[in-house]
Amino acid sequence: MTDQSLFKSMFIAGYECSTHRRPDGRRLDLIAATGHDRNVEADYRQLAESGIRTARDGLRWHLIETSPGRYDWSSFLPMLRAARHQRIQVIWDLCHYGYPDDVDIWSPAFVDRFARFAAEAARVVREETGEAPFYCPVNEISFWAWAGGDVAEFNPTAKGRGGELKRQLVRAALAGTAAVRAVEHRARIVFCEPAIHVRTKWEQDPEHAAAERYRLAQYEAYDMLTGRMCPELGGKPDVLDIVGVNYYSFNQWYYGGGFIPMGHHHFRPFSDILVEIHQRYERPLFVAETGAEGTPRAPWLHYVCGEVRDTIKKGVPVHGICLYPVVNYPGWENERLCEVGLFRELEEGGASPRRVVERYMQELQRQRALLVDR
């Protein structure tokens, strides 16, 4: 573990908090769907008892801003207070794909509304707690731009407008960051983006250069936030405070082809990816999302933690590993049970403590010892 850790524990629990609308118009609310809203006090207590003292969680903007400029914090205050009671440090996502129905995401009003919401959220947290807060203003700008702007998988369900949506989300993220900092100068700002590796099967492939351009496009959101790219958006170097790296086994693929299997000589070590990101931005970083579904959960954690240890040995500060999601959840598209969690779904009408996935927990405890968790 790094000497000066940002977080209270090396391992972080990530609660699925997506609130987007699907193409069929249905809004998802994963905090409610997993029962985390009604079970939050017990969920956080279970984290503390498991040695996890930091979490990623989210505000549901569409529930809070009931009409322009009017805020109902009743969905958020129980979560905020439960975190305080259980002494859980939380990185709060302010916008996790969802937004109020009465705002046009393509309009300047979206940016303004989000900045006001971010400021009000920061005021509430400041009044309720005495600790320096952590915020992720807009989660996964790159993925949202692709899913919502290029392939219409969720709101705003557009096609061929991914670049435009990415710039708009960056505008909102910049405005939200400035608004939070104006209210709370101690706030730490986190941005979380997927880390990918894309290549062709042969270096001599005529598409090899195109594959490398696609791979490097993963950095566009960060480059816009820092002003390296599209400086007219207002990005500045100090906007990027803490870099969150979202990484799964399916984050490596052949350009125009299938996934690169783990263990193949084309599968890039995760430690190399982390080193590249750190060299590019020179910011503290953490693994903001990682996990697997079903029996690979424990082996995948074993692999990721080994790569993080290798990264730390190379002098790169990796401050945490977020198990994401930490609770089983119903899938976005068909609501099938996704068994990804350290903790199982609530029984029908039941309450926590949730049942633990024992093999996953055993591997977590082994890795805590190896990473010298405190």
Q: What is the pLDDT of residues 174-194, one digit of tens each?
A: 999 999 999 999 999 999 999
* Calpha distance 76→179 (Å, rounded): 19
* Calpha distance 309→304 (Å, rounded): 9
Compute the C-alpha angle 21/178/285, nearest 5°: 75
Distance of CA 210 to the CA centre of its chain: 28
| Pairing, β 318-323 against β 285-290 | parallel
Confidence of residue 97 (pLDDT cuts 50, 70, 90): very high
The DSSP 8-state label assigned to residue 281 in this structure reads H
Distance of CA 84 to the CA centre of its chain: 21
Confidence of residue 348 (pLDDT cuts 50, 70, 90): confident
Has residue 207 got a pLDDT over 60? Answer: yes
User: Could you read off the pLDDT of 210-267 as tens digits, one per residue?
Assistant: 999 999 999 999 999 999 999 999 999 999 999 999 999 999 999 999 999 999 999 9
pLDDT of residue 280: 98
pLDDT of residue 220: 98
pLDDT of residue 2: 43
Per CATH, the architecture of 11-370 is what? Answer: Alpha-Beta Barrel (3.20)
- Averaged pLDDT, 299-304: 98
Beta strands in the chain (DSSP E): 11-14, 54-58, 65-67, 70-71, 89-95, 134-138, 188-194, 197-199, 242-246, 252-254, 285-290, 318-323, 329-330, 337-338
Confidence of residue 349 (pLDDT cuts 50, 70, 90): low
For residue 143, give the amino acid letter: F
| Pairing, β 89-95 against β 54-58 | parallel
pLDDT of residue 1: 39
For residue 344, give the amino acid letter: R
User: Could you read off the pLDDT of 119-161 as tens digits, one per residue?
Assistant: 999 999 999 998 899 999 999 999 999 999 999 999 999 999 9
